Amino acid sequence: MPISLIILGVGGNSLSILDAVEEINRLSANGPVYDLRGFLDDLPENSGKTVLGYPVLGALADAHKHADCKFINGIASPESYKKKPDIVARIGIPRDRYETVIHPRAAISPHCKIGVGTAIMANSVICAEVEIGDHVIILQNTVVDHHSTIGDFATLSSGISLLGFTNIGRNAFIGGAAAVRSYITIGDNALVGMSSVVVKDVAADSIVAGNPARPFKPKVPM
């Protein structure tokens, strides 16, 4: 039987997950792998909407009403990424109720480890001896090279290049098209701006941007 699945959030990452789920179903030789029920989202303006043919079934707190479903979290942006651990904790769904979704066009080494609730999108490449935690989002065209580690709740945007032996901390956010040199550590909750070139370690809870990446203070507090 297909796995009943609900996506948390209706933003861009959630739509990428939807694309992956539909492509998995389309390519399955034995019928659909997933029965995608729809979304849960807390924004009032999304209540009752239909998004790309799938209903918004309620708020995040309604997850407990869907006892036959698995879940995957698509909520992560530069503005919201620090809330990811709190969102998962607040929903209170056991770890084994989260589904890992990997787009069929992602290239995944059989010699890597991937946690639960993680989403890996099209054309991304995960190399040998990589370890990826729980609830990680890796968007399109991102490369994670050998012996790298990605902490729980981290978000890697599109077009990122992580060279070998990099260490991305818990709940860090790496902006699109960033490049990270080998043996670099990016600390927990850190944010790396889009198109940055990271050649030095990044402290936990800090923001860096530029080429080379330097400490950055946004005009609007995040």
- Enzyme catalytic residues: 146
Cis check for the bond before 218: say yes or no (omega within 30 of 0). Answer: no
Buried/exposed 30-69: b ≥16 CB within 10 Å, e otherwise: eeeebebbbbbbeeeebeeeebeebebbbebeebeebeeb
Q: What are the Cα distances from residue 33, in Å, to 68, 90, 102?
A: 15, 28, 12
Listed in sequence order, the residues at least 6 apart from 95 whose beta carbon sits closer than 8 Å to its beta carbon are 116, 117, 134
Which uninterrupted H or E stretch holds 173?
Answer: strand 173-174
Read off the DSSP letter of residue 99: P
- In terms of residues, how long is the chain? 222
Do 112 and 127 meet the contact criterion of CB atoms below 8 Å apart? yes
Please name the residue that has the structure tokens 């701006």.
193
